[in-house]
Amino acid sequence: MTYGFMAINLVVFFALFRAMPGHGGSAWVRVYGVVSVFNLFAVSVFWAFMADGFTAEQPRRFSVSSRGGNAGAIGGAGARRS
C-alpha cells in the first residue's frame, strides 16, 4: 500500500511537471528532488519491513556478508581515487 501511494505520487508529479509550460530546467530540478525523496523513502520502507520479519537469531547470519559489502564499498571508493 505504501509503495502504491508513492507510485501514484510519482505519476501525479510527472503530470504536474509536464503541464508547467516554459519552466525549462527548473522543472527537472524538481523532478530530481521528488525522485530522490521517493528513493530514500522506498529503501527505508523496505528495510523496516525486512527488520520486522527477522527473528533475533536471523540477522547474525548476515554479519559476514554485510562486513564484506562495507569493505568493498570502502575499498572501491579508495581505488577510484588513485
Residue 12, C-alpha cell as written in the block:
501525479
Residue-level pLDDT at 54 = 79
Residue-level pLDDT at 25 = 58
Per-residue pLDDT of the chain (82 residues; tens, 9 = 90+): 777 887 888 788 778 777 776 655 566 677 777 778 888 888 888 888 877 887 877 777 767 777 887 888 888 877 765 5
Burial label for 33, CB within 10 Å (0-12, 13-18, 19+), is exposed
Q: For helices 2-19 and 25-53, what crossing angle results, to 10°?
A: 180
